[in-house]
Chain A
Amino acid sequence: MSGALLKVEKLFCERDERVLFDDLSFEIRSGEIVQVEGANGSGKTTLLRILSGLSRNYEGEIYWRGEPLAAVREQFHRELLYFGHQPGVKALLTAEENLHWYCALHPALDPARIAQALQQVGLEGFEDVACHMLSAGQQRRVSLARLYLNDAPLWILDEPFTAIDKGGVAAQEALIARHVAAGGSVVLTTHQDLQGVEALRRINLDQQSGT
């Protein structure tokens, strides 16, 4: 196993008869950040959806802690935090209600930390406001509060900094650096250069795309 959390072998994916990536192999070890790069439409989100187990339109093998992903799906989901393109926040519920539901879906999480997590993403005082009353950036922050709740070993973050202000981005970068320092690993896509993180690896999808 040699510490590889997630191992991808010969991944192939095509979409609308266009090859997004072919023969893509890499490993993610604990304490590592992998930044997936590529132009718009190069398949970054598709790759993250495949890694998280949401999408099954691929060929190749994915291993979680040395076991095939399909065999250890429940265990994998327990140790995964996925931050998707859509924030997964219900507009009709308040920030607090949204996070309580997230805790119900992940029984290992402690709902007592919700207030603290909301405070850390700068939403103190907005706990009881329905999310459709919040700005786009604030709605993203509700979803980002999950990062403060969940110490899962693997974080898969799809454009986590979209619509977040400068101060927020710096706080998220510090959080990601802390998570990695504590032995967690992160796969993310972003068009920004990450500040203050070591052990950063890049996977560029532009070289992967074929016809």
Chain B
Amino acid sequence: MRSRLFYKIMGSYLVFMLLSVAALTFLINREIKGGLTILVMALFSLLAALIFSRKITSPIRKMEIFTRKVCNGAPAGTLLVESNDELGQLAKNINHLVLQQQEKIKLVHKEKRKLASAFTAMVEGVMILNSDNRIESMNNSLMNILGRREDDIINKTLLEVFRNMDLQNALERFKETGEPVLQEITLGGASPIILDVNISPIQGLSGGDEKTMMVFHEVTRLKKLENIREDFVANVTHEIKTPLTAIIGFIETLEEGAIEDRVTAEKFLRIISEHAQRLNRLVDGLLTLSSIELGEIKLHLEGISVVHIVENALPVIQAKARDKKLAIHHDIPTGLPLIMADRDRVAQVILNILDNAVKFTPEGGKVSITAFEDGGGYVVVRIADTGIGIPASEIPRLGERFYRVDKTRSRELGGIGLGLSIVKHLMKAHQGRVEIESSPGKSTTVSLYFPCSL
């Protein structure tokens, strides 16, 4: 079966032949009369040939323009060729191809966007190194962790950006072995960030490029918790061990004959009793803490007056304060709203803070107690001293069990290291809070926020 295009081409070919024959006859005959007829014929055939050839070339020209547009990436639309022959079919096929290509591009874009948003939204920092070990790209998380702009990072080496020995060594280890490497690194000075870094190869790249992927996972908080736990275990054993050693030592001395000497024996027994009591206080403290934490302590909430609590606590403290020649001022206005609290527990909290204030204030200093309503539904009891103070960096750790700012001094002063921890938990149980401000060497102010009774 012959195609339509074949007939078209054959048609124009035939016309061209006719034209040529006519022209030839004209040249041979050179007869004016016959020649005119032939000239007319020839002109007619030329016109016909032109029309035929236009019919073929114009759709091809259209296709050429269209495909060029597609190649340049311009939005091309659809190719319109109204013809039933192969050219029409070709145009249809081109349209189909273009449509398919556009859909594929759309799909690729979509996938790329998906990957990019996953890359950006990841909590972990991700970085890709090129084959020269320079940073090729990184995600937003990593930039946030490092606190740097992209321009400061891209195309730099790890040493230029991080200047971290451990990281550099880890990369070299990875380069040597080709095995994935896990390394913990610490960045920064005053408040360091701890990161777990995974270094692994990127496989399946064309062109033999060896790229390296680094995933950074921030573990600062986890490390902190780990430290707190380790400190706690170390401290609790230490705190129990110290009085026990003393008790055992003195008992052994007594057994070895000191018991015969009545005066010494009494002195030793007193020391043993002191240490046993200290141990008892420690265990009590720990029990209190764990029962508050477990929510086992039932608070008997009632409307109570702050003035009343402070006045009850003062005589206990004043004895200690007199020994150190401290002045205690208290100025609590009458007419403060009642607070919603457990009488005994509030007394425990206030005594604890007052006891600390007296303990850490050198002779001749001053402790003052005030109270006011803060307007947000709280009554604030503020206890300020002129003591040794606490460095700002230590304040957040104060509520930790056994945490001591000055490890030697506070133990000398007889603390068990649980006071503030208990205070913090009790205040929390009361839906209140503790705020501590301090300037080292000058003063410390503790504010206790108790919710008002409704």
A and B: bona fide binding partners:
no
